[in-house]
Structure 1
Amino acid sequence: MEGRGHKMQRSAAAGGGGEVSPRAAEGGEWRYWEGLNHEVLALIFTRIPADELARTVPLVCRGWREAVVGPYCWSDIDIEEWCRRVDRPDVIDFAVRKLVRRSRNTLRRLCAYRIGNWGFSLTAYFGNHLRVLQIPMSEINDLTIQKSSGTLTALAVLDISYCKNITSKGILTLGKNCRSLVNLRRNMTPPEYESTQDNGVAAKINEDEALAIANTMEGIEQLELAFGRFSDHGLDAILSNCRALSSLDINGCWNVKLDGDVGMKCDALKFFKDPFYDSYELYPSSCDDDCDDDFDEEAD
């Protein structure tokens, strides 16, 4: 039975789209691929998922192993799908630390899921040139951010959605350190509710994260804050201070009423998803009349 390494080598030699003829192999095709410059090999290997690149490619030949162990393959690390399959923070953190070390300060992009404090710290240590950091549902806390994020001055895109251990203190630190940030995703799960005086329900209002963004991320252009707990007050601070903002998603931010100038400022944005966006999806405007008719019939 043909080994997996030989199959991968054939696939890569054919540009990922077929088998190489036996004559080509006998003519020294493998020696040609084995002797390629590591930077060229790294460009070819970008077509291979990162987890397979780390586990399988080194088994093919010495040249490929040296290329994978070196930094050229790891300036862009996307292991989010693998992390979701594994779903074990300890294993994920170990893998992140291993791959980030290989980057040797060439890291430009990291996409992972459920990484821990050690993984974040090491990423920041090697992150002088890091531009994109997408780490939703991670276990990182404020203290780790305060200790480690000072090196992330080049960071432009950050996704810390569903990171429940990060509070406004961590966001404030990120805003102060990540001065190149233009895109922030801080989507959260729906908040808990409490009864109101008129027997309605509302989420507890907390303006801290919105104010942290407003006070430190003046250059932000794209912002996702789904299910945030802030009200018009926090939103107005963001709209007033973040003058470069062009795209805003506050779906599920039910404490926001969009009263007065706040609503007009939101309407002036190039893209705006309001707190009740999902409701529009469930009840499209085209069915309004039919829905009213059905209700009238049931009432009769």
Structure 2
Amino acid sequence: MEPEEEEQPPACGRDWAELQRDVLMLIFLKLGAMEVLRAAGSVCRSWRKVAKEEPELWRKIDMTNHSYGSDCYVLKDPTKLAIDRSGGRLEEFSVEDFGDNELLWYLCDRTSILKKLCLISCYQLSEDAMADTAKRQPLLEEIQITFGSFSEKVTEIVGKECPLLKSFKFNTSWDNMGAYNPNDEAVISDDDEALGIAKTMHQLHHLQLIGNRLTNEGLKAILHGCPHLETLDIRRCYNVNMDADMRALCARLKTIRLPNDSVDDYEFHVYTNQEYYSDVEEYYDDVDYEIDDLHDEDLFDYDDLFSDYDGDDYMF
């Protein structure tokens, strides 16, 4: 009978499975949600136990800056798992690309104490779901909506439902691109979002509106309606004219970023008008067919295409 081999100590001289729980908590908090879910939580039984049974570990869930690209929706199930593990103690939630109605409703069914909500490039998220989320999270103090597809009413909706709101970021990804045209005509002004903020967010301390279409009138309304405002970021808001009167109104602010200030330190890329139209031209240069081909009778049978059209049954 062969003698039993003695268990060899780890090469580094440390048994990682014996780390104390508070030490593991510190390690896991530095790793982030996805690393804990797919890696650290699978190292050994003791690590998995901490990953599964410590709600404090999941008070902050950040699902941004991932590298999944168009496959990001594979992160929805892991995100739900992280939400479940929070045990109703989730206070900060951030998601990029794959935040949709279902995910936010799932979130609201499992916590009602959110203090921070960050939504980046969540174009599948509807205004109704956003309104419902704001209503069900009355403790929200910080909201970031960057590169979304909401109407101008969303600012008023959020302001009404979140009376404790201290910080609001509502940014676009380009320089008022929706109103720009190649003939360099002035961009279309729109103060609806600004007026919604002024009307409802009276406790606001920090406001960021990169690429907004507000004018001096909208900015004046914000300054009067938000008496506690300390910091203001209106970079790329080219309808604002920082004349002497406007500078006097903004003098009480501790920090202000002006329309022409650099966005180099901004974490996202803000398209300039020139970049956008260059990209559009490059795209069409790569198209294999000519636009005129779209009218070729061999490609489209227009009688058949609209054969089912019946007056008001369709909206264009």
> Same fold per TM (> 0.5)?
yes
Superposed CA offset, 1:174-229 (max 9, x none): 11111221111112122234579xx7522111111111111111111111101101
In the alignment, what sits opposite 1:273? 257
1:158 and 2:143 correspond: yes
Distance in 2, Cα, partners of 1:144 & 1:280? 33
SS of corresponding position for 1:277: coil
Is 1:48 the equivalent of 2:43?
no
Corresponding residue for 2:119? 135
Distance 1:91 1:240 in 2: 45
Distance verdict in 2 for CA 1:234–1:77, change over 3 Å: same
Q: Deviations over 1:75-100 (max 9, x none)?
A: 11122122x44443522333322321
Distance 1:66 1:195 in 2: 58
Q: Which runs of 5+ in 1 are unaligned?
A: 1-9, 11-18, 282-300
Name the SS for the 1:135 alignment partner: strand
Partner of 2:43: 60
CA deviation profile, 1:84-119 (whole Å, cap 9, x unmatched): 444435223333223212212111212221112222
Show the counterpart of 1:298. none
For structure 2, list consecutive stretches of 5 or more residues without a partner in the other structure: 1-9, 266-316
- The amino acid that maps onto 1:220 is L
CA contact (8 A) 2:198 2:225 kept: yes
Q: Is the 8 A contact 2:33 2:82 kept in 1?
A: no
CA distance in 1: counterparts of 2:244 and 2:132, whole angstroms = 41
**Match of residue 240, structure 1, among 217, 224, 235:** 224
TM-score by length of 2: 0.71
CA 1:177 to 1:88, structure 2 compared with 1: closer, same or farther past 3 Å?
Answer: farther
Structure 2 distance, partners of 1:133, 1:280, is 24
Aligned to 1:218: 202
Between the two proteins, the alignment pairs up a number of residues equal to 251
Native 8 Å contact 2:235 2:263 kept in 1: no
- Residue 313 (structure 2) aligns with: none
Q: Which of residues 103, 106, 120 in structure 1 aligns to 2:89?
A: 106
Alignment partners' CA distance in 1, 2:94 and 2:75: 12
| Aligned mates of 1:63, 1:168 — CA distance in 2 | 50
Greater per-residue helix proportion: 1
Q: Counterparts of 2:79 and 2:72 in 1: how far apart (Å)? A: 10
Q: Which whole-Å deviations, capped at 9, do the CAs of 1:108-138 have from their partners, x for residues lacking one?
A: 2122211122222222333422222222111
Using the alignment, how far apart are the partners of 1:44 and 1:222 within structure 2? Answer: 32
Q: Return the offset for 1:235.
A: 0.8
Answer yes or no: is 1:146 the counterpart of 2:131: yes
d(CA) in 2 for partners of 1:280, 1:78: 23
Partner SS state of residue 112, structure 1: strand
Q: Give the drift of 1:154.
A: 1.6
Does residue 255 of the first structure (1) align with residue 239 of the second (2)? yes
State which drifts further: 172-181 or 229-238. 172-181
In the aligned structure 1, how far is the partner of 2:231 from the partner of 2:159? 18
TM-score (norm. length: structure 1):
0.75
Q: Which amino acid aligns with 1:53?
A: V
Residue 53 of structure 1: how far off its partner (Å): 0.5
Q: Where do 1:61-100 residues align within 5 Å?
A: 61-70=44-53, 71-82=55-66, 84-100=67-83
- The residue type paired with residue 202 of structure 2 is E
Mapped partners of 2:106, 2:82: distance in 1: 10
Q: Give distance in 1, aligned partners of 2:264 and 2:57.
A: 44
- Higher mean C-alpha deviation, range 152-161 or range 61-70: 61-70
In the superposition, relative to structure 1, how do residues 45 and 89 fare at CA in structure 2: closer, same or farther (>3 Å)? closer
Query: For the aligned residues, what is the CA RMSD?
Result: 2.7
1:117-172, Cα deviation, whole Å (9 max, x unpaired): 22222223334222222221112221111223212222112110111x22222222
Provide the rounded CA distance (Å) in 2 between the counterparts of 1:110 and 1:159.
11
For residues 248-287 of structure 1, give each alpha carbon's deviation from its aligned partner in whole angstroms, at most 9, with x where no partner exists: 0111111111345333112331111111213999xxxxxx
Identity score, percent: 25
Deviation at 1:65, TM superposition (A): 1.6
Which one-letter code corresponds to 2:131 in the other structure?
A: Q
CA spacing shift, 1:280–1:46, aligned 2, 3 Å = closer
Paired residue secondary structure (2:89): coil
